[in-house]
Chain A
């Protein structure tokens, strides 16, 4: 009996080891940062880290879902850029337009996601290639629309980025809320379980008659709308949408997912690991900032973290 419960515990730890590893690393990093600088230990700094990580957290949440289905979404960066220039271009400093622009941008995100999923379903091409293609097209459209910052947002709009609710950053609350909602969905809703099933073994999922097309449509539409939401936050932060706002998010949205233990071949992992992965990376950059190390070293550190993470979780052997 004891042996059984122990092995169940061991399996639980093993399945969720990404979460444990990342949580441990966060604690270690925080200790290093705390020893390095007094300012690091302030509550204000912690809140800043949370605030700055909002956009990355939201994009990574969407990315987690597509990766869980065994795919990937490389169009998020261009989609963020498109959503930002559309949002500030359409609003154009007119407070009356904000609501319409927001609705439009979120719809664009869903629409792009549906197109991605449809291409994957109809052509059978790997999502890597499909979303690379659609991402390239989107970036072209962005640059056809504008080559510089487009329009502008009313000053009050920055509340979304810098506002505090009971002392906590609004964006960070929203991000955590989304993670909790999606985590619950994945665990307790049938469609959520299907996402794991389709990613874990597409053939078995097909034989069980699971609606793969529907799963993919939902996954990519969600990834798209998450990217648009991140764009809204970024526009609130910078006050204007720019044609290259999202460029770095395509690849950096994958890092926290992988670091958090979600397997690129799909079917295994979860959103908690990704959220911790986002915080780990934001904290790392924060600590390196306090140590006065330039962005070059932040880049090296990020690359090394990916290397360590990917070689720590050995992926399933391809059969």
Chain B
């Protein structure tokens, strides 16, 4: 009898733990938001909320791409450089809406080529993702500086300005773009053959080959997705920042990786979801926002960020082992 009770109870407890493991990060975001609202009344003001959402949008789009790359055991350090390059491209024309098609095509080309280069280096030359994407990052940076000769000049087309900073009924267009991107790629990851291939390849490239998945192609596609999304995020960000310089998007590579790690996307590959990674990104932005709202020195953001990186990673790794 007592045996039966025990055996009945154990799964229930296990389910509870499982739910906590799976949704702990979401729960943490809710608690964080409640705590922030209590600590600072300004947090829930309309102005602040749309401000936070505007900041989430470009980072979120980069996070979606970064998730794909980390799922196949990679890492994309070149995203910030791609963002800046596509943002600089946006300023390279007359600044009218008529230039939009050219700008979009060029930005997509930058993202696509960088992603392809990363993917080929990682798969065909067996270069570690860290180095491959570091190298493309530096090359892109050099090309950008060579093109702008120091400082970009020119204006952003009004359409991008609207997309990056505008809103309708308090919901920024950028957030809608993020929602669309997140929905599409969650669908791809969850319900397509390619998506399943991503998880299997990340779980073990050997296994992937055994079940007939072209691991190399899957990995290259993940880097291409990351490059493309970074280029789009760069366009979005160019409409948000007051002035486009050579460093638009600086720090996004680190922030997007941190968001993924916090959201439980395993650096060892094969595990994690887009939604959880986005929640990780939201936590980062909210923490920064609160540090500012509470009037603490802005440098403290760095200390908090660093501590969050180590702690979040430690929690997940302990859990996994």
Tell me whether A and B are bound partners.
Answer: yes
Interface residues of A (CB under 8 A from B): 72, 119, 122-126, 128-130, 132-141, 143-144, 251, 254, 258, 264-265, 294-304, 306-307, 310-311, 314-319
Binding site secondary structure of chain B: helix
Residues 268 to 321 of chain B near chain A (Cβ within 8 Å):
297, 299-310, 313-314, 317-318, 321
Give Cα distance in the complex from A214 to B179, angstroms: 48
Q: Are A137 and B307 closer than 8 Å at their CB atoms?
A: yes
The answer to the question of B127 belonging to the interface, with a C-beta cut-off of 8 Å to chain A, is yes
Q: Give the CA-CA distance A79 to B222 in the complex, in Å.
A: 34
- CB-CB under 8 A for A311 and B127, given A130-B313, A137-B303, A137-B306: yes
| Nearest Cβ on chain A to B251's Cβ, whole angstroms | 10
Is there contact, CB below 8 Å, between B306 and A307? no
Q: In the complex, what's the smallest C-beta–C-beta distance from B7 to chain A, in angstroms?
A: 32
Query: What's the nearest-Cβ distance from chain A to residue B281, in Å?
Result: 16
Say yes or no: B310 contacts A303, CB within 8 Å.
no
A296→B136 CA distance, assembly (Å): 14
**The stretch of B10-18, B27-35, B103-111, B139-147 that contacts the partner chain:** B139-147
In the bound complex, what is the Cα–Cα distance between A177 and B137 (angstroms)?
34
> A316 — which chain B residues lie within 8 A by C-beta?
126
Using Cβ atoms and an 8 Å threshold, which residues of chain B touch A141? 303
Report chain A residues within 8 Å CB of B310. Answer: 119, 123, 125, 129-130, 133-134
> In the complex the two chains form, is A140's CB within 8 Å of B314's CB?
no
Considering only CB atoms, which chain A residue lies closest to B131 in the complex?
A: A310
* Interface contact A126-B302, CB-CB below 8 Å: no
Interface size class of B (residues with CB under 8 A): 35 or more
Q: Does chain A have a CB within 8 A of B132?
A: yes
Given A251-B134, A311-B121, A296 and B314 contact (CB-CB distance below 8 Å): no
C-alpha spacing A301/B138, complex, angstroms: 9
Contact A125 B302 (CB under 8 A): no
State the Cβ distance, B76 to closest chain A Cβ, in Å.
13
A-B pairs with beta carbons under 8 Å apart, 25 shown:
A125-B317, A130-B313, A132-B258, A133-B306, A133-B307, A133-B308, A137-B302, A140-B300, A140-B301, A140-B304, A140-B305, A144-B299, A264-B130, A296-B142, A296-B146, A298-B142, A299-B138, A303-B135, A304-B139, A306-B131, A306-B135, A306-B138, A307-B121, A310-B128, A315-B126
Task: List chain B residues, Cβ under 8 A from A314.
Answer: 125-127
A303 and B142 contact, Cβ closer than 8 Å, known pairs A123-B318, A140-B299:
yes
Residues of A within 8 A of B176 (CB): none
- Give the Cβ gap from B133 to chain A, nearest Cβ, in Å: 11
Q: Is B254 an interface residue (CB 8 A)?
A: yes
Query: Closest A-chain residue to B129, C-beta based?
Result: A264
Q: Do residues B128 and A315 form an inter-chain contact, with CB atoms below 8 A?
A: yes
* Nearest residue, chain A, Cβ from B121: A311
Which chain A residues lie closer than 8 Å to B130 at the CB level? Answer: 72, 128, 264
Shortest CB-to-CB span from A121 to chain B, Å, is 12
A300 touches B143 (CB 8 A): yes
User: Are A303's CB and B139's CB within 8 A?
Assistant: yes
Contact between chains at A133 and B309 (CB < 8 Å): yes
A110 to B124, CA, bound (A): 40
Measured between beta carbons, the chain B residues less than 8 angstroms from A122 are 314
A128 and B134 CA atoms in complex are apart in Å by 13
Task: List, in ascending order, chain A residues with CB within 8 A of B267's CB.
Answer: 126, 129
**Set of chain A residues within 8 Å of B125, measured between Cβ atoms:** 310-311, 314
